[in-house]
Amino acid sequence: MKYDVSLELKNREESYSFGDVAKQANGSAWIKSGKTVILATVVIDETEVVKDDFLPLTVQYIEKTYAAGKIPGGFFKRETKPSDFETLTSRIVDRSLRPLFPKGFGHPTQITIMTFSADNESDLQLLALNAASAALFTSDIDINTSVSAIRVAKVDGELVLNPTLSELNNSTLDLYLSGTKEDLLMIEMRTFGTNDVEISEMIVDPMLDPTMTGAMITKHNANAMSEDELIKVFETAQSELFSANVEYEKAFTPLKKDVKKLDLKAHTINEEMVEYIRDNHIPDIKNAMNQMAKSERSTALRELRKMILATKDEWADVEHEVELKDAIEKVKKEQVRAQILHDKIRADGRALNEVRPITIDTNILPNAHSSCLFTRGQTQALVVLTLGGPKDAQMFESLTDSETQNENFMVHYNFPGFSVGEASPIMGTKRRELGHGNLAKRALEPIVALDGETIRLVSEILESNGSSSMATVCGGYMALKAADVQTSDTIAGIAMGMVSEGAEYAILSDIMGLEDHDGDMDFKVTGSKEGITAMQMDIKLGGISLNVLKEALYQAKEGRSHIIDIMLEAEKSIEFNDGVLPSSDIFHIDPSFIGEIIGQAGKTIREMIERFEVAIDIDKKDGKVKITGKNKSGVKGAKEHIHSIVNTPKVEKIDYQVGETYEGIVKRIVDFGAFIELPDGTDGLLHISKISDERVEKVSDVLSEGDKIMVEILEFKGNKISLGKA
């Protein structure tokens, strides 16, 4: 393959070939970085889609398993439906490139990105966007702006730009940004929780050696990032994006194809209608704006249109009705934005930084492990939690993974049509649902330390008027607490918006659907009162300055703190579903007591498992004990029993000899004899034939559990002791 361009970029080299393959596409770019090879193509249909304000762009990112020397697993040995990673990568590329297309571009456009070869260290999401941007920039579509991506990690406290996958695996930060040489366009961010070892100046377990002055304990840390620190990272990343895009445009411009002449949709507004509505129907427009639900607002605007058509005979035809609809929409958007910018009042009467009323109801589903109905204004999420074990984890395999991975923390988000008053059937999971669930997962995962458990959160959106993904985050946290899951911090989410006109702008907290539709930014921030765990931003105007972004972050922190206060208050009234809620406990004991807990041939631990209906895991090296069971009472009983064993003074083991006699206690009676506990806790079998000189038909006729009896050591059979009555 002949490469037209080779670029030395931050921590990597990219080589591009144009025009050697996929020659019938409007644009194509073959990119090689390390051992990774990706092809991106752009194809447009010259037949316009007649739908105003709609860009018919489709992005598909596709991985081929042969790229990593693998054959697809499962029954079908060819690639089938896209993986979650492929779908999320397609969304990232779409959200980054969509702002480049000019207003009125109505030609169906397909961007296809295929990974043909992949090494274990390449960032496929970053290379996918860069390849797609190169194909678009050098195509015959009149787009002359390069978009590129940068990923930022934080390894051992130091920022790493464009990390390898190994570095990213050891990072406490994953920040993905895309932008042009002027502006940031899209942000995806998450932090990773860590288990930090701390030294405690007090004894942390009474079973530990009392002579210890300190003990090493593990504390889970969510690694939330402060707003100030995040802005500094943005500054560093934006500087690198600027440099990279300058290099791209300089290298790609001479290779650009001759521009194909395409007609943009000449969408014109009937100004006569606009003026008529402004002069006569502003109160009606404002009344429609006050109908907060999407379905109610649409109905109000439709009724206004019918009323105008009924009084204006000259507009009573289909063509004029379409123009009138556009004119009403334009005036409505003007009113929404003007009221925010000039009056500092939103359509529902809220102040710019005001959060809608919130109600929280926990464990309303009696047979679920836990649940939370989180309602904020006209957005409502029912989040349901299910606890499972290691076998319940979701198995998956990424292209760059050497083996199958397990996902132990899952967030599934469902958005049925009835939540916005639409009569649409519930089909398979859509890209948007997958993306929103992934955002909520990234927000909550850093605060949960799993030790073999599996947690699945399912968010059913029952009503939506903006920011249902953030309702999922808040409801998800409350569902964790309603299941008595330990968390390292309290996490909430808030969606921010912005309306701007020239140098004037207004930042909005907790945006509703109307403000998302008619605004310029959708900016979702999740985190604690101290910092941010996850973030997602899409810009509709073509970019955002860091000063405005900083202001939005601090206003989001204010709103997030307000929501957290409400959530903390709701925590106080949680009543657990004790009858169905599985429970677990982890604690440490002195490892020297493990033998007593297990018992001879596992007898003691088996008895505990049967009696308390629990599973017990013991780490023999550090004395870590994990108990899991169907309910709290069983787990508590098993823990208390283990502590009673640990707190019982140790009995020195006796070196028993054949012919010696001892006093024992009848512990268990069976058909063929009785098990006798000897003075050091060792069990021996007194066979029914050895109980008496006379024939014994039934052991219970002669002995009872708890009886004291003198026995003689007759013989040893492996680890077993055979006894006779002395």
pLDDT grade for 580, boundaries at 50, 70 and 90: confident
pLDDT for 71-112, tens place per residue? 887 778 888 889 999 999 999 999 999 988 888 888 899 999
CB atoms within 10 A of CB 74: 6
Instruction: Read off the pLDDT of each residue in 362-381 and give the average, rounded to a whole number.
Output: 95
Are 429 and 538 part of one and the same domain?
yes
pLDDT computed for residue 15 by the predictor: 95
CATH number of the structural domain spanning residue 689: 2.40.50.140
* 208 belongs to a structural domain: no
In a domain, 370, yes or no: yes
Is 350 part of a structural domain of the chain? no
Which domain-ending residue is among 619, 647, 675?
647
Q: Are residues 401 and 450 in the same domain?
A: yes
Higher pLDDT, 103 or 69: 69
Q: Which amino acid belongs to residue 630? A: K
Among 130, 106, 131, 128, smallest CA distance to 48 is for 106
Residue 475, number of CB atoms within 10 A of its CB: 34
Hey, is 687 helix, strand or coil? strand
* Tens-digit pLDDT profile for residues 697-724: 888 888 888 899 998 988 887 778 888 8
Residues 250 and 256: their CA atoms lie apart, in Å, by 11
- For the segment 566-578, the average pLDDT, to the nearest whole number, is 94
Q: Specify the pLDDT at position 651.
A: 61
Residue pair 123/153 in contact (Cβ under 8 Å)? The answer is no
Domain CATH for 551? 3.30.230.70
Q: What is the mean pLDDT of residues 483-494?
A: 94
Per residue in 135-149, pLDDT tens?
999 999 999 999 999
| Domain final position from 544, 571, 598 | 571
With respect to residue 642, please indicate whether it lies within any of the assigned structural domains.
Answer: yes
CATH of the domain at 595: 3.30.1370.10
User: What percentage of the chain has pLDDT greater than the value 70?
Assistant: 93
β strands within 129-273, DSSP E: 148-155, 158-161, 173-179, 184-191, 194-200, 215-221
pLDDT above 70 (res 510): yes
The pLDDT value recorded for residue 55 is 85
The pLDDT value given to residue 699: 87
Q: Is residue 205 part of a domain?
A: no
Q: Which residues contact 717 (CB under 8 A, 6 or more apart)?
A: none
Residue 354 clears pLDDT 50, i.e. is over it: yes
What was the pLDDT predicted at 52?
60
What gap in Å lies between CA 390 and CA 185, rounded to an integer?
Answer: 39
Regarding whether 632 and 522 lie in a shared domain, the answer is no
Same domain, 594 and 693: no
Residue 312 has pLDDT above 70, yes or no: yes
- Residue 204, pLDDT above cutoff 60: no
Per-residue pLDDT for 1 more than 80?
A: no
| pLDDT category of residue 213 using cuts at 50, 70 and 90 | very low
CB distance 205 to 587 below 8 Å: yes
Judgement on whether residues 414 and 315 belong to the same structural domain of the protein: no
Tell which residue, 136, 140, 131, has the closest CA to residue 46: 140
Write down the pLDDT at residue 42. 97
Average pLDDT over residues 426-435: 89
Same domain for 35 and 181, yes or no, is: yes
Residues 288, 327, single domain; the answer is yes
- What is d(CA 492, CA 568) in angstroms, rounded to the nearest whole number? 11
Which pLDDT does position 371 carry in this prediction? 97
Domain assignment of residue 654, yes or no: no
Quote the CA–CA distance of 264 and 283 in Å, as a whole number: 34
What tens digit of pLDDT does each residue of 5-22 get? Answer: 999 988 889 999 998 999
In the 3-class helix/strand/coil scheme, how is 624-657 assigned residue by residue? EEEEEECCHHHHHHHHHHHHHHHHCCCCCCCCCC
Q: What single-letter DSSP state applies at residue 519?
A: S
Query: What's the pLDDT at 544?
Result: 67
CA dist 300 and 303 (Å) reads 5
- Pair 133, 176 in one domain: yes
- pLDDT tens, residue by residue, 335-347: 888 888 888 888 8
- 335 and 368 assigned to the same domain: no
Looking at the structure, do residues 483 and 437 belong to the same domain, yes or no?
A: yes
The C-alpha atoms of residue 245 and residue 130 are separated, in whole angstroms, by: 10
Q: What whole-number distance in Å separates Cα of residue 470 and Cα of residue 483?
A: 20
d(CA 143, CA 237): 24
Q: For the chain, what percent of residues have pLDDT higher than 90?
A: 41
Residue 328 domain boundaries: 271-343
Q: How many helices (H) and strands (E) does the chain have?
A: 15, 31
In the predicted model, what is the mean pLDDT of residues 582-596?
A: 83
Can you tell me whether residue 209 is helix, strand or coil?
Answer: coil
- In this prediction, residues 399-408 reach a mean pLDDT of 83
Mean pLDDT value across the chain: 86
Q: Identify whether 82 is part of a domain.
A: yes
| Domains identified in the chain, total number | 5
Task: Out of 176-180, 269-273, 538-542, 611-615, give the one with best mean pLDDT.
Answer: 176-180
pLDDT of residue 216: 45
484/531 same-domain check: yes
User: So what's the pLDDT on residue 150?
Assistant: 95
Q: 652 in a domain, yes or no?
A: no
**Which domain-ending residue is among 255, 280, 303?**
255
Whether residue 108 is found in the same domain as residue 45:
yes
- Write the DSSP string, 138-167: TSSSS-----EEEEEEEETTEEEES--HHH
